[in-house]
């Protein structure tokens, strides 16, 4: 709506702007309450549209779940090995626990026989490392 057609422009100087005599349309009653009043009642459609997470209903989280914060793929293992040893050793040991990784995943291929120490690994990662002549050792979380 253009500014020139608005009610407050047409009724400048009229004190009530067409809303009656004593402050109708002025206080919180005209807004449906102050603040967050009515979000469960008459402002529910606003809540659904704009504030879906207002009531903080969390999903169920199983008490024994494992949270994997940092993982690494087999394709990145070669880079880690070169950073540690400079590629000088033929059969290298890579301690992923000390480097801060939680899980070894099986994406990519392995060229060398690595001895990898890690907390957990995928089935594909274990197969590929053993096929290349390496081994995986599990370090328990303490």
CATH topology of domain 71-138: Ribosomal Protein L15; Chain: K; domain 2 (3.100.10)
pTM of the predicted model as reported, rounded to 2 decimal places: 0.53
pLDDT at 21 over 90: no
Task: Report the percent of the chain where pLDDT is more than 90.
Answer: 35
Q: How many CB atoms lie within 10 A of CB 121?
A: 19
pLDDT tier at 142, thresholds 50, 70, 90 = low
Q: What is the average per-residue pLDDT within 77-88?
A: 79
Q: What is the average per-residue pLDDT within 49-77?
A: 85
φ/ψ of 73, rounded to 5, equals: -95, 160
Q: Do 25 and 31 touch, CB atoms closer than 8 A?
A: no
pLDDT tier at 89, thresholds 50, 70, 90 = low
Across the beta sheet with 120-121, the strand order is: 71-73, 103-105, 120-121
CATH 3.100.10.10 occupies which residues in the chain? 71-138
Q: Do 111 and 78 touch, CB atoms closer than 8 A?
A: yes
pLDDT at 1 over 80: no
Q: What is the average per-residue pLDDT within 71-83?
A: 87
């Amino acid at each position: 709506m253009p500014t020139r057609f608005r009610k407050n422009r047409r009724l400048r100087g009229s004190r009530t702007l067409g809303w009656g005599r004593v402050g109708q349309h002025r206080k919180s009653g005209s807004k449906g309450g102050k603040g967050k009043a009515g979000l469960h009642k008459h402002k529910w459609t606003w809540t659904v549209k704009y504030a879906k997470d207002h009531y903080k209903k969390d999903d169920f989280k199983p008490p024994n779940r494992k949270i994997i914060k940092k993982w690494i793929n087999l394709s990145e293992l070669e880079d880690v090995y070169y950073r540690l040893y400079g590629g000088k050793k033929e059969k290298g040991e890579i301690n992923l626990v000390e480097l801060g990784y939680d899980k070894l995943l099986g994406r990519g291929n392995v060229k060398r026989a690595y001895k990898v120490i890690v907390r957990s690994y995928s089935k594909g990662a274990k197969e590929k490392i053993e096929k290349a002549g390496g081994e995986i050792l599990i370090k328990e979380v303490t």
